């Protein structure tokens, strides 16, 4: 009996010892919420390579090429009646897969085929906005019959015919370097091709050649009109060659436009068959199909010389034949009335945000020749100002910088208030102080010597001039400003000056990057590949520093918290948070791949981590409690993902509740900060 008591005591004591010796296991608490997307505004930042209108007249789709900027291609969907941006298709080919070269709707307007200059031909279902299927075919043009039974793909020297699950491919020209442009008759019996300096007609059933005709210049587009029995070919010399569909007999050759400079020559018959449109360079011509007489020649954009005039790169008719859509190499899509040629509207334009107003209720954006005021919450246009320039933070002034003068306009009425001008001085840029009381103007005088001029915005009189200096930035409250000093025969330096007396506070090498804290108590100086120094602005003494062993190109960021107590350092994928006064490491556990931006929100509620790469864009908000107390506060974050990369530009509203960023294709997207307090009601 005593032995059983000993065994029972041992069995009871053993788990108690194990529990006493085992360390407590603390599982981290994670809470990830979605970031609310308030609105998106589509835009194209590069060449509009192709446009298409749906047969039912409901949709317009446009695509961009990489162009000179090497941006990611994008396919945007718009509503045809209003031109409103719907969304971008989830294109997963990325930059290394090539450009979108042609778009084609199915006869029922449900499916969209996208031709690429690489062996991929995705087809999207527009009801679900997802990819439906894909063929391993490169293409430069697309065409189909009215029943959707056949899809013709013009590739490099060959043609592919897709019907159901079968794909037929045959060589059209001996050389594989010639792009093939295709057009199929609505009944699906014949296929016309234009490649190089020849035009051909093929029978679809057995792929036999019906006729072939040579042309004196390379073909760049093709279209047909079955009712008139004609085929139109746009040549690179600006001439439109018309052939009879039945036997290929030449009908007529139109003369080239007066300005024949351009990338491509595009031709398209109107859906009602009454007009033929041809676009080359900055000229649109309309021909009557009964006798091919010239109806109108429209100048699309004002001629500004070679290289300075946006050129037409894509052409499409509206479904009702009342307008022509033209895409340009600067990202714009315009709709023109026919046959008058008046511009009806813009479908897409390159847009640049200027900033929120002090109440965060309005947003100003800039186009090429005008400024628009939007409602921040909805993106609705409130007012259009027919001027553009640099907007002051209080939204009172708009500075237009020309080479010989700076025009100050009242905002938003646009009336001229003052003209800043000095003899022999050339102007290049302007920067308002955060309180809008001062204006720094970047100018040059003499033999191109830099000059910085400081103006007061109440009198608009020059208060200070700094020779051999260029303005760089203002401190957050406007107490200090930084100039780039380039003395003759000396090394360039960064000069920190006090605005009140323009006295010089400190100098840094020109390779440094300077960042002030929001309360202007601290100044961080980043020495690339060396160190980061933190100065106290009260006496400009060096408080502390930390080394920088490596830098991921320009992918680094420095930011201070709203109260100036913490410093955030981002280098590559690593984010570290320090105490601003002591340099003590508060958090070094944040790591995000392809990080482009990292900063505190203006309201101090979270930290923004904005990354962009081949996988798209991701925006992550991390609650401030975990950032400054990672061992005592549960991890709370909010995430938003995008299919396209970001341009690395982002703007916070002054209250920190809204975050606006711009994608590489120019599209604007507005997100709500989920950790900010609820938006207060608008004042009546």
Count other C-beta atoms under 10 Å from residue 191's C-beta: 24
What confidence tier does 614 reach under pLDDT thresholds 50, 70, 90? low
Helix or strand run (H / E) with residue 7: helix 2-21
The 3-class SS string of 411-462 reads: CCCCCEEEEECCCCEEEEEEEECCCCCEEEEEEEECCCEEEEEEEECCCCCE
* DSSP β-bridge partners for residue 599: 608
Rg of the chain over CA atoms, in angstroms?
Answer: 31
Decide: residue 42, CB within 10 A, 0-12 exposed, 13-18 middle, 19+ buried: buried
In contact, 54 and 66? CB cutoff 8 Å: no
Residues 6+ apart with CB under 8 A from 492: 484, 485, 486, 510
Classify the phi-psi angles of 630: left when phi > 0, otherwise alpha if psi is within -120 to 50, otherwise beta. Answer: alpha
Burial bucket for residue 260 (CB in 10 Å: 0-12, 13-18, 19+): middle
**pLDDT tier at 533, thresholds 50, 70, 90:** very high
Give the C-alpha separation, 384 to 152, whole Å: 45
The CA distance from 473 to 496, in Å, is 10
The closest of 117, 198, 115, 207 to 161, measured between CA atoms, is 207
Question: Residue 16: which pLDDT band, with cuts at 50, 70 and 90?
Answer: very low
CB 451 within 8 A of CB 467: yes
Which tens digits make up the pLDDT trace of 382-418? 999 999 999 999 999 999 999 999 999 999 999 999 9
Cα(647)–Cα(663) distance, rounded to whole angstroms?
Answer: 5
Domain ranges (residues) in the chain: 46-136
Distance set, CA 587 to CA 252, 576, 632 (Å): 75, 6, 12
Let me know: does 64 contact 331? Beta carbons within 8 Å: yes
pLDDT at position 108: 94
Neighbouring C-beta atoms of residue 212, cutoff 10 Å: 13
The Cα 617–Cα 511 span in angstroms is 30
Per-residue confidence at 35, pLDDT binned at 50, 70, 90? confident
Beta bridge partners of 312: 328
Torsion sign, CA atoms 365, 367, 369, 370: negative
C-alpha 369: how far from its chain's center? Answer: 18
Q: Environment class of residue 69 by beta-carbon count within 10 Å: exposed (0-12), middle (13-18) or buried (19+)? A: exposed
**Residues near 455 by beta carbon (within 8 Å), at least 6 away in sequence:** 420, 438, 439, 441, 461, 462, 463
Structure tokens that stand for 57 in this block: 């007249």
What confidence score (pLDDT) does residue 72 get?
Answer: 66
> For 493-640, where are the alpha helices, taking DSSP H only?
624-628
**Residues 127 and 115 sit within 8 Å (Cβ to Cβ):** no
Helical segments of 514-651, H only: 624-628
> Burial code of 174-183, b = ≥16 C-beta within 10 A, e = fewer?
eeeebbbbbb
Judge contact between 247 and 261, C-beta under 8 A: no
| CATH architecture of the domain with range 46-136 | Beta Barrel (2.40)
Task: Answer yes or no: is pLDDT of 31 > 60.
Answer: no
Higher pLDDT, 593 or 176: 593
Residue 31 CA to chain centroid, in angstroms?
Answer: 31
Residue 303 has pLDDT above 70, yes or no: no
How far is 391 from 389, CA to CA, in rounded Å?
6
Distance (Å, whole) CA 181 – CA 159: 9
Neighbours of 563 (CB within 10 A): 13
Compute the distance between CA of residue 161 and CA of residue 680 in angstroms, rounded to an integer: 60
**DSSP type of residue 595:** E
Q: Which helix (H) or strand (E) holds 6?
A: helix 2-21
CA atoms within 13 A on the CB side of 564: 16
What DSSP designation does 303 have?
-
Judged by DSSP in three states, 537 sits in coil
Structure tokens at 358: 């002090």
611 falls in which pLDDT band (50, 70, 90)?
A: confident
Q: Would you say residue 7 has pLDDT above 60? A: no
Average pLDDT over residues 204-222: 94
Round the average pLDDT of the chain to a whole number and report it. 87
Single pTM value for the model: 0.86
Residue 490 CB burial class (10 angstroms; 0-12, 13-18, ≥19): exposed
pLDDT tens-digit series, residues 490-511: 789 999 999 999 999 999 999 9
Q: Examine the pLDDT at 30 and tell me if it is beyond 60.
A: no
């Amino acid at each position: 009996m005593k032995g059983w008591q000993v065994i029972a005591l041992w069995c009871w004591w053993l788990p108690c010892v194990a529990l006493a010796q085992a360390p407590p296991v603390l599982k981290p608490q994670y809470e990830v919420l979605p970031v609310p997307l308030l609105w998106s505004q589509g835009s194209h930042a590069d060449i509009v390579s192709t446009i298409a209108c749906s047969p039912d007249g409901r949709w317009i789709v446009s695509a961009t090429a990489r162009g000179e900027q090497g941006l990611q291609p994008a396919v945007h969907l718009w509503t045809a009646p209003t031109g409103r941006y719907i969304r971008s298709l989830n294109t997963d080919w990325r930059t290394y897969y090539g450009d979108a070269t042609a778009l084609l709707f199915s006869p029922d307007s449900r499916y969209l085929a996208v031709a690429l200059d690489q062996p991929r031909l995705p087809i999207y279902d527009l009801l679900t906005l997802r990819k439906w299927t894909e063929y391993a075919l490169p293409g430069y043009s697309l065409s189909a019959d009215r029943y959707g039974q056949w899809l013709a793909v013009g590739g490099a020297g060959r043609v592919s015919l897709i019907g159901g699950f079968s794909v037929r491919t045959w060589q059209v020209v001996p050389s594989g370097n010639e792009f093939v442009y295709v057009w199929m008759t609505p009944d699906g019996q014949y296929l016309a091709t234009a490649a190089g300096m020849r035009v051909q007609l093929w029978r679809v059933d057995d792929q036999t050649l019906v006729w072939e005709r040579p042309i004196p210049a390379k073909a760049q587009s093709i279209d047909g009109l079955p009712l008139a029995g004609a085929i139109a070919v746009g040549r690179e010399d600006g001439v439109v060659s018309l052939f009879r569909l039945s036997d290929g007999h030449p009908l007529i050759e139109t003369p080239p436009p007066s300005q024949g400079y351009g990338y491509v020559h595009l031709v398209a018959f109107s859906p009602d068959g009454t007009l033929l449109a041809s676009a080359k360079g900055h000229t649109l011509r309309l021909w009557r199909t009964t006798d091919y007489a010239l109806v109108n020649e429209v100048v699309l954009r004002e001629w500004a010389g070679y290289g300075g005039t946006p050129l037409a790169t894509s052409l499409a008719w509206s479904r009702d034949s009342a307008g022509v859509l033209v895409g340009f190499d600067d990202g714009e899509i315009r709709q023109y009335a026919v046959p008058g040629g008046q511009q009806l509207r813009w479908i897409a334009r390159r847009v640049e945000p200027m900033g929120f107003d002090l109440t965060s209720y309005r947003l100003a954006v800039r186009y090429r020749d005008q400024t628009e005021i939007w409602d921040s919450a909805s993106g609705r246009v409130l007012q259009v100002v027919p001027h553009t320039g640099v907007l002051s933070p209080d939204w009172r002034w708009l500075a237009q910088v020309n080479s010989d003068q700076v025009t100050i306009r009242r905002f938003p009425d646009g009336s001229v208030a003052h003209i800043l001008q000095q003899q022999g001085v050339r102007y290049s840029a302007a920067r308002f102080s955060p309180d809008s009381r001062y204006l720094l103007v970047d100018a040059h005088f003499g033999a191109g010597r830099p000059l910085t001029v400081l103006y007061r915005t109440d009198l608009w009189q020059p208060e200070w001039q700094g020779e051999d200096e260029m303005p760089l930035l203002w401190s957050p409250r406007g107490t200090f400003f930084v100039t780039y000093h380039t003395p003759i025969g000396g090394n360039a330096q960064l000069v920190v000056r006090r605005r009140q007396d323009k006295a010089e506070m400190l100098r840094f090498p020109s390779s440094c990057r300077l960042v002030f804290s929001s309360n202007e108590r601290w100044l961080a100086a980043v020495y690339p590949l060396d160190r980061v120094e933190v100065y106290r602005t009260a006496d400009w003494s060096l408080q502390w520093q930390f080394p920088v062993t490596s830098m991921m190109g320009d992918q680094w960021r420095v930011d201070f918290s709203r109260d100036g107590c913490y410093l955030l350092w981002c280098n590559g994928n690593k984010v570290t948070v320090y105490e601003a006064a002591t340099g003590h490491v508060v958090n070094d556990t944040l790591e995000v791949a392809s990080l482009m931006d990292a900063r505190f929100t203006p309201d101090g509620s979270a930290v923004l981590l904005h990354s962009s790469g081949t996988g798209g864009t991701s925006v992550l908000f991390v609650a401030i409690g975990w950032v400054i107390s990672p061992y005592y506060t549960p991890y709370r974050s909010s995430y938003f993902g995008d299919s396209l990369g970001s341009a690395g530009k982002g703007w916070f509203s002054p209250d920190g509740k809204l975050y606006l960023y711009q994608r590489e294709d120019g599209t604007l997207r507005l997100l709500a900060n989920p950790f900010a307090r609820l938006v207060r009601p608008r004042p009546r």
